[in-house]
Structure 1
Amino acid sequence: MHTWGSRTVVLLAASLYAVFLPLLGWVEQFWTLVPALALFGFAGNLLNVSVNTQAINVQAHYSKPIMGSFHGLWSLAGFLGGAFGTLLISWQQSPLSHFLLVAGLGLLIVAVAHQFTLRQDEGSEAGGMSLRRPEPYLLRIGLIAFCGMLCEGCMFDWSGVYFQRVVQPDATMVTSGYVACMSTMALGRFLSDYFTHRFGAARMLQISSTLISLGLLTAVLLPYLVPAIIGFLLVGFGIASVTPLAYSAAGQARTVSPGVALALVSTIGYLGFLLGPPLIGLLGEVFNLRISFALVAVIGAAVGVLAAGIATKSAKVRTPA
């Protein structure tokens, strides 16, 4: 992105993301599935970093934060994708036909949307990638993303298991915690821009940290259906703004370009998403899931500690390129 610009990379990555998806429907053996997943994952994270760089550039033309709304649309797309997949399964469509249809839709979106992308990146004159220690500011933002995405990964992978093993509701309510968390996460991302504009990034991260810890501790200390659902609702609101705010803050680094800064923060953050769920499972086996979720509450509290002193600079109104 530093060499070609985020516009070129986001269009290439979005196209590859769509093209690689049908590969997952064609493969029938493990040894072919692994490289297909590797290609798909590569395109996905390349798209993640480049489209967030575009979002930071768009936000620079506004007088208030808008990053949360972009991530809210991502959450909304997740709901729509799940519903669309459920519909196709009910129609007894094969994975390959499902993936080909989604790939075609993805390429159509790229064809329509490419004309609205920004051609020039803000801060592209700053440094590119180099083998040196990142500045402390970016390391701190990366750790915030790490903690936030670890909590997010825990809710993605373990909320249903927690309800099944610990809360033990009626079978029809086992997924209620997951649904509660994902719903408030999506809603919270659309609301987070308003509250970030009002309270500032550092205060918003501290509020988010409090909600994550309070929600998880509620579910741990009161492992019953209603309190656990309320707790997971709070967690969803808490994790909603951590990643968008971390990405926004990364884009304000001045020693490297926004794309390079986002790549670094995204890499550290995804380590939390990758390592968190196995860690929860290991602790759950050694101790129990309540202890595991209590540890995640502590990690959520670390977001607020790390956020002290992080302040997102006010964006200036500019004429779009």
Structure 2
Amino acid sequence: MTDQGHKDIAMRGRWAVAAMFFVNGFITGSWAPQIPTLLVRLEISKFTLGLLILLFGAGAVVAMSWCGHFIARYGSGVTLKRISVGTSFGLLLVAMAPDVTLAAVAMVIFGGLIGAMDVAMNTNAVVVERRLGRAIMSSSHGFWSLGGFVGGGLGGMGIQTFGHLAHAVIITIVALAGVSLAMRHVVTENRPATAQERPRFTLPRNPLIYLIGVMALFSMTPEGAVLDWAAIYLQQELGADLATASLAFAAFSGVMACMRFAGDSVRNRFGAVTTLRACALLACAGMLGAGLSPLPWMAIACFALCGVGIANMVPIAFSAAGNQQGIPSGIGMSVVTTMGYCGILVAPSAIGFIAEHIGFGPVFIGLSGLLFIVFLMSGLAHRADYTADHPGE
């Protein structure tokens, strides 16, 4: 096949994986407005709801840790195609659960499907980056943010108009349609592993992959803190009203989505290490400023600045994870995504406990230190830069 033919296939694969990111974000965003209905429908306490949400996170983390080995065996393209179909039904499973017990099972499955698809689509994005010889990871995550915005924005209206179950059915149909359109163009690796090459379930011995995982963890922990605690910080410690307090995460996530679409161009021009260093410093300054801000509007502006930096830190870490020599892309991605997502799924609980004793201001100041550590470790992301390759070469 000619170079132009390879390039055309890679470009179609680029938009196919972008569609998969959008679908994953769309389903996840659609879950958010379903949460209050689950509380009322099952007549459970907020504590029980919290346990159900924790089961979602547990399912995601377990699936992430295993998915890399399926990718090493079957390839990211095949794994993504299969998992994405199942993921389309995840929200519907939860919406159909008639009691707490079945809801708990559904939440574990839903979280596992979302988590496994996350690893598969990030690994496939690395494959496409290699084929194109340029970065697409940041904009792929931008499509995830866009999907979450659409799903979350329309979800409340859909539930109010059609009911929670009809809303879940509509989400399933839309997700399946998106997956079906993208599936035929998903890039697959040149050849799957043979039976002799198929790896057993073992953790990588290269310590570098765990250091990159630490970078992802330290990048995503502040993101989880802003998601769960920024509004409460503005209300309880800075005296903001609810409408103003809600702007903190809105500013953070909105700026983050925009910067992710711009991030690939910046990274292609300046390189992954330089981009990561600049992003980490911006994020560190923003988080530090938010913790020191005496006024709500200053804190909101600082959270937005933090979003500018964090937006492209995780995509760069994921690209570095998928390009480590001697480690299959799927396994490297599995380790780093599992460690990174603990920052969103697990760390916020500890942050809430600490803040109860010392306040959120000092916590956000402390989190800026994690972002500065990422700045110091930025040189480890050099494997995120590469030249193009083609299947068969």
Q: TM-score range by the shorter chain?
A: over 0.9
Letter in 1 for 2:306: V
Unpaired runs of at least 5, structure 2: 1-70
Which of the numbers 208, 216, 219 marks the counterpart of 2:279? 208
Q: Distance in 1 between matches of 2:320 and 2:193?
A: 16
Is 1:284 the equivalent of 2:355? yes
CA distance 1:280–1:158, change in 2 (3 Å): same
Mapped to 2, the partners of 1:133 and 1:89 lie a distance apart of 44
One of 260, 273, 276 as aligned partner of 1:189: 260
Mapping 1:162-201, distance limit 5 Å = 162-201=233-272
CA RMSD of the aligned region, Å?
Answer: 2.0
Report Cα offsets for 1:55-90 as digits up to 9, x if no partner: 111111223211101000001111111111022134
Taking a change above 3 Å as real, the CA distance of residues 314 and 217 of structure 1, as seen in their structure-2 partners, is closer
Matched positions, count: 320
Per-residue CA distance 1:2-59 (angstroms, 9 max, x = gap): 1111122111111111122211111232211111000001111110011111111111
Instruction: Pick which of 300-309 and 54-63 moved more.
Output: 300-309
Which residue is 2:371 aligned to? Answer: 300
Q: Does 1:9 pair with 2:9?
A: no
Cα distance in 2 between the residues matched to 1:247 and 1:122: 23
Match of 1:76 among 146, 163, 166: 146
Question: Amino acid of the residue matched to residue 260 of structure 2?
Answer: R
SS in 2 for 1:96: helix
What secondary structure is seen at the aligned counterpart in 2 of 1:202?
helix
User: Which among 53, 59, 62 is matched to residue 132 of structure 2?
Assistant: 62
Q: 2:226 aligns with which of 147, 155, 158?
A: 155
1:254–1:247 CA distance, 2 compared to 1 (3 A) = same
In 2, Cα distance between the equivalents of 1:96 and 1:113? Answer: 26
- Secondary structure at the aligned position of 1:169 is classed as coil
Q: Could you tell me which residue of structure 1 aligns to residue 178 of structure 2?
A: 109
Aligned residue number for residue 19 of structure 1: 89
Q: Secondary structure at the match of 1:204?
A: helix
Task: Give the superposition deviation at 1:121.
Answer: 5.4
Compute the displacement of 1:273 (Å): 1.9
Output the TM-score relative to the length of structure 2.
0.77
Calculate the TM-score normalised by the size of structure 1.
Answer: 0.93
Q: Shift of the alpha carbon at 1:259? A: 0.7
Deviating more after overlay: 120-129 vs 22-31: 120-129
Q: Does 1:99 align with 2:207?
A: no
The alpha-carbon deviation at position 122 of structure 1 amounts to: 8.7
Q: CA deviation at 1:247?
A: 0.8
Q: What are the superposed Cα offsets for residues 230-286 of structure 1, whole Å, 9 maximum, x if unpaired?
A: 101111111101111111001111212101110111111122222220121011111
Give 1:168 deviation, angstroms. 2.0
Residues 313 and 32 of structure 1: CA distance in aligned 2, closer, same or farther (over 3 Å): closer
Superposition deviation, residue 317 in structure 1: 3.3
* Separation in structure 2 between the aligned mates of residue 65 and residue 165 of structure 1, nearest angstrom: 41
Identity, % of aligned pairs? 28
Partner of 1:42: 112
Q: Indicate conservation of the 8 Å contact 2:80/2:117, yes or no.
A: yes
